[in-house]
């Protein structure tokens, strides 16, 4: 039997040998002459946009010299041809850099400066061009050609436009105009840049507060609408696609953010058509607000009284200056929206309308105060019945009911029948109303006799 001390010494030696064997890294066997290759997915290629930019500048300059180009158009044509045929450049990786070179001659850093002031620069670029459509259009044609051949470059062009927008405060007025012209031509020529991706960046707080973004977007609107074949409608369509058509007021600095300032600014900029369109949009929102409020009132539990409905409509008219024609149209649509027509036949729907008109006829008579407004109500009913098949056959019954309630005049109905009807379903409604019209004519003859 070993003494206790010897046992402890042996245990310590065993433990030490085990620790050494676990920590010792054993080399794997290798075969002589065999080279281990790194898998492709583990190879990390360093990002080097500066070398790409220098290569683009060199190719453009060499191609222009080789072609003997003497104008910007000739230089760009030669450069575009050479770049399109070059398979060594990593366009998919450095698309942003490519368009920065064409816009500014080299890579743009924060503050609108070059990343490397000493690196070679492209001699022909947008910020050095004359601030005119004719001078900048050749660059846009190059963009169109390159993105058509390599669609993935569109994202690079978008990123470059965004970068220019966010550094706009560092450019002078002339350079801002050149960028505005370039952007206008890009969208006018329908290069597949997604408007929302670019214009959603226009609401940068810093640039808006300084007024920089308002100044630039005004330039852009002016240049875009000055292109031949482009109208304010095309500008509005672009704004809608960009999802900023309802946010134009947000371009103004907070202290000047009012519709009066909006109208003054764009009228002074020669964009009165844009002001007119925006005014119509604002009125449409106000009218929709009245429609929603009035519908909720007459559909509520309990429904609003006729007096309350009149008071509500008058308050909105006084607040928003809504035209009476629109109030008449909205009043009818709000009343009809309160009727639940699900599962009801035509007779039941007509009875519901009769009960509703009996309760709210003063609401209609409050606003229907002239022959013109009566005709507005009549055409509104015609369009509403045309759009809802369940009401097609009861149109004449509704008209007669309103005639009996002294809301519609005989002369207005006759004028509607002869030449005042709306094109929607005209033939159907005129034929359906023949019997009622004959009755009115006979009644008039009897009164004459």
CATH number, domain of 309, equals: 1.25.40.180
Q: Is residue 341 domain-shared with residue 408, that is, in the same domain?
A: yes
Residue 266 parent element (H or E): helix 259-268
pLDDT recorded at residue 43 = 46
Residue 140: which CATH number? 1.25.40
**Domain contains 360:** yes
319 and 248 in one domain?
A: no
**Is 286 in the same domain as 431?**
yes
- Indicate if 81 and 102 belong to the same structural domain: yes
Same domain, 157 and 75: yes
3-state helix, strand, coil in the chain (%, to 5): 70, 0, 30
Give the pLDDT score at 15: 56
**Which of the listed residues 270, 290, 325 is the one where a domain comes to its end?**
270
233/223 Cα distance (integer angstroms): 14
Please check whether residues 302 and 356 belong to one and the same domain: yes
Tokens for 237, please give them: 């369509």
Domain limit, last residue, from 270, 290, 324:
270
pLDDT number for residue 26: 57
Q: Is 391 helix (H, G, I), strand (E, B) or coil?
A: helix
Do 379 and 254 sit in the same domain of this protein? no
Q: Is residue 7 a part of any domain in this protein?
A: no
The residue segments making up the domain with residue 320 are 280-448
| Domain count along the chain | 2
The tens place of each residue's pLDDT in the chain, 449 residues long, gives: 445 445 555 455 555 555 555 555 555 666 565 555 555 454 445 668 888 899 999 988 888 888 887 888 888 888 888 888 876 788 888 899 999 999 999 998 877 788 888 888 888 899 999 999 999 999 999 999 999 999 999 999 999 999 999 999 999 999 999 999 999 999 999 998 999 999 999 999 999 999 999 999 999 999 999 999 999 999 999 999 999 999 999 999 999 999 999 999 999 999 999 999 999 999 999 999 999 999 999 998 889 999 999 999 999 999 999 999 999 999 999 999 998 878 888 889 999 999 999 999 999 999 999 999 999 999 999 999 999 888 888 999 999 999 999 999 999 999 999 888 888 888 888 998 899 999 988 876 665 54
Same domain, 142 and 290: no
CA distances from 346 to 324, 343, 356 (A): 30, 10, 15
pLDDT of residue 412: 93
Do 184 and 326 belong together in one domain? no
- Please tell me whether residues 220 and 332 are part of one structural domain: no
Within a domain: 10: no
Which of 123, 124, 122, 104 shows the shortest CA–CA distance to 114? 104
| DSSP code for 172 | -
Residue 384 inside a domain? The answer is: yes
pLDDT (0 to 100) of residue 74: 86
Q: To which H or E segment does residue 12 belong?
A: helix 4-23
Shared domain for 438 and 352, answered yes or no, is: yes
Domain boundary pick from 270, 295, 329: 270
Residue 32 and residue 412: Cα distance in Å, rounded? 106
Regarding whether 79 and 144 lie in a shared domain, the answer is yes
- Whether residue 102 is contained in a domain is answered as yes
Contact 223, 180 (CB under 8 A): yes
pLDDT at 203: 95
């Amino acid at each position: 039997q070993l003494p206790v001390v010897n046992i402890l010494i042996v245990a310590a030696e065993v433990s030490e040998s085990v620790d050494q064997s676990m920590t010792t890294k054993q080399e794997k066997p290798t075969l002589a002459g065999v080279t281990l290759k790194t898998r492709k997915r583990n190879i990390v290629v360093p990002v080097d946009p500066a070398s790409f930019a220098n290569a683009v500048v060199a190719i453009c300059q060499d191609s222009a010299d080789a072609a003997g180009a003497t104008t910007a158009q000739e230089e760009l044509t030669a450069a575009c041809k050479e770049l399109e045929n070059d398979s060594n450049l990593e366009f998919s990786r450095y698309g942003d850099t490519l368009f920065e070179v064409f816009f500014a001659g080299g890579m743009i850093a924060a503050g609108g400066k070059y990343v490397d002031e000493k690196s070679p620069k492209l001699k022909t670029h947008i910020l050095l061009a004359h601030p005119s459509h004719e001078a900048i259009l050749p660059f846009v044609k190059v963009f169109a050609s390159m993105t058509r051949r390599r669609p993935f470059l569109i994202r690079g062009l978008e990123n470059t436009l965004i970068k220019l927008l966010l550094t706009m405060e560092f450019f002078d007025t002339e350079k801002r105009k050149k960028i505005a012209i370039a952007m206008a031509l890009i969208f006018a020529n329908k290069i597949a840049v997604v408007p929302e991706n670019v214009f959603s960046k226009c609401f940068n707080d810093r640039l808006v507060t300084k007024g920089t973004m308002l100044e630039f977007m005004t330039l852009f609107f002016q240049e875009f609408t000055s292109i031949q074949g482009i109208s304010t409608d095309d500008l509005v369509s672009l704004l809608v696609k960009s999802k900023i058509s309802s946010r134009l007021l947000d371009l103004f600095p907070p202290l000047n953010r009012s519709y009066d300032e909006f109208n003054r600014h764009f009228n002074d900029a020669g964009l009165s058509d844009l002001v007119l369109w925006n005014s119509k949009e604002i009125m449409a929102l106000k009218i929709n607000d009245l429609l929603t409020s009035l519908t909720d009132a007459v559909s509520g539990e309990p429904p609003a009284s006729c007096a309350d409905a009149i008071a509500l409509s008058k308050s909105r008219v006084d607040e928003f200056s809504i035209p009476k024609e629109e109030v008449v149209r909205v009043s009818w649509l709000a009343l009809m929206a309160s009727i639940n027509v699900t599962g009801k036949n035509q007779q039941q729907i007509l009875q519901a309308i009769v009960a509703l008109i009996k309760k709210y006829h003063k609401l209609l008579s409050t606003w229907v105060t002239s022959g013109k407004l009566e005709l507005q109500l009549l055409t509104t009913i015609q369009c509403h019945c045309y759009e809802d098949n369940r009401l097609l056959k009861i149109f004449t019954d509704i008209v007669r009911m309103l005639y009996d309630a002294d809301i519609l005049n005989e002369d207005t109905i006759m004028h509607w029948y002869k030449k005042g009807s709306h094109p929607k379903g005209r033939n159907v409604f005129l034929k359906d109303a023949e019997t009622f019209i004959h009755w009115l004519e006979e009644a008039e003859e009897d009164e004459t006799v």
